[in-house]
Amino acid sequence: MQKQLKIEQRTSIQEINALPKTAAATMRDRVARDAYLKLPQVHFYQLWIDYGALQTETAPDPAARLSELLNRLDDYRAYGQTQSGTLTGATAAALTISQTQAVTDLAGERLRFDQWLTLIARESFGGVAFRDLNAHAAILRHIFATITLPGDGARRLNDLYDQERIRSRIRAVFFARRQLQTNEQVIPQNAHLLAAKLTPVSEKNAYPSEVDTQSILQMDQAGKSGAQVEQDYRKVAETIRQQYATLSLPMPASAPVPEVSLAVRWKDSTLHYIPYSFAQSRLELNFLEACLQLQEFQQKKLELYYNGERGLTEFVINCYQKKGNFWKRLGEYTPDFLIMARGADGNPQRVLIVETKGAGFEESFKSRRAYVENDFLRLNADRFGYKRFEFLYIREADEPAARLAQLAAKINAFFI
């Protein structure tokens, strides 16, 4: 093996063993803060579609339906034409059409009748047996004769017929007709934003820092708000300034004046568990910090909660797309953030759903976005009697200043 490594990889076992080992990721435990924040459930209404097949026949009638198929075989046929003429000109040759001929037949694969029946049965994957087909051999021979052409010893498929579709129709006659029906329901839901056990996360994806996390948990225990902590820090800073002034000394830029961090200051408006994990995107972290610093957010006493870690939250929207008279299920959508304002009873009165998307994920989100903006918002407005939810879409491709302006405008328009 040593020799093989030398030849193929130009290395040795000793060199591989000497490579520095990748340090194990530092993991941090997480703590729930929803009880401290008295975080309520989010009440909303959800569209739910039950899909069911309604049987419209008590029993299949293969003979009648095969006769119907035989009479409508022209519906499965195409026609072609050939044109002939002469080329004129040496360089840019033009074709002068002199004759057009209709094409009604196009000989394809050689196939005997019994082989054709076997093919139909095999394509059913056990749904239709050869004996079922053979029981209706007489009419099936008429169909076979119509969609094939005479050949030497065996007939040839006429490729101007949609052979695959015809075989599918033949298999279908052995089953009772069914019609897909959907039952639309609107169901109320009460969602916990933290509904599962917290697991440790990697330090590199965690927000806030370990120092800020411990400070927040200690202040929670002491019953101190972020505003009180900020006031305490200001008092300490003022004391330091006065000490320098008393000694008639200029205060150096490096003087140890404490400052409260963003996470600590607004701890009562966010972080329903701590720390958050932003493993998927730095855009989410950038949005959270930008929102907490936004004047409109602070003045309106709003709250911001990260909802994007799947499996932790119950606020998940079932998304659908209307296709004619039917709803096509798109799957679940877990919004990234919820910005909320509480009413006098402490329950969410208005909730702004925020989705942040990188350029590579915008296309795949289009259908879900359309459902939320057009159907989910309207459904809940109808049920609550006012616009309880709003939606904001943040694109990574936009400049940070544009994203911030978009957020401020939405907050001012919605939280009134």
Q: Tens-digit pLDDT profile for the chain (416 aa)?
A: 555 545 555 555 566 566 555 566 789 999 999 999 999 999 999 999 887 655 555 678 999 999 999 999 999 998 766 666 666 665 555 666 666 677 788 889 999 999 999 999 999 999 999 999 999 999 999 999 999 999 877 899 999 999 999 999 999 999 887 766 778 899 999 999 999 999 999 999 999 999 999 999 999 999 998 888 888 777 777 777 777 677 777 766 555 556 789 999 999 999 999 999 998 779 999 999 999 999 999 999 999 999 999 999 999 999 999 888 788 899 999 999 999 999 999 999 999 999 999 888 899 999 999 999 999 999 999 999 999 999 999 999 999 999 999 999 999 999 98
pLDDT for res 324: 80
pLDDT for res 38: 97
Structural domain ending residue among the three candidates 175, 207, 224: 175
pLDDT for res 391: 98
Angle formed by the axes of helices 137-146 and 163-172, nearest 10°: 160
pLDDT for res 230: 81
Structural domain ending residue among the three candidates 154, 175, 196: 175
In angstroms, rounded to a whole number, what is the distance separating the alpha carbons of residues 77 and 159? 9
pLDDT for res 359: 83
20, part of any domain: no
Q: Indicate left, alpha or beta for 385 from its phi (over 0: left) and psi (-120 to 50: alpha).
A: left
* Token couple for 229: 């902590």
pLDDT for res 280: 78
393 and 263 within one domain: yes
pLDDT for res 99: 62
249 and 103 within one domain: no
6, part of any domain: no
233 and 132 within one domain: no
Give Cβ neighbours of residue 240 (< 8 Å, ≥ 6 apart): 251, 255, 256, 257
pLDDT for res 229: 83
146 and 47 within one domain: no
259, part of any domain: yes
In angstroms, rounded to a whole number, what is the distance separating the alpha carbons of residues 415 and 319? 25
How many residues comprise the chain?
Answer: 416
Domain that holds residue 302: 26-51+186-414
407 and 277 within one domain: yes
253 and 336 within one domain: yes
4, part of any domain: no
Structural domain ending residue among the three candidates 119, 150, 175: 175
369 and 337 within one domain: yes
275 and 363 within one domain: yes
405 and 377 within one domain: yes
In angstroms, rounded to a whole number, what is the distance separating the alpha carbons of residues 316 and 116? 50
259 and 377 within one domain: yes
307, part of any domain: yes
12, part of any domain: no
∠ CA 308-310-313, nearest 5°, is 80
44, part of any domain: yes
147 and 192 within one domain: no
- Domain count along the chain: 2
pLDDT for res 84: 62
CB distance 48 to 185 below 8 Å? yes
39, part of any domain: yes
322 and 385 within one domain: yes
In angstroms, rounded to a whole number, what is the distance separating the alpha carbons of residues 84 and 99? 5
Instruction: Give, in order, the Cα–Cα distances in Å from 333 to each of 91, 272, 308, 314, 407.
Output: 60, 20, 10, 11, 21
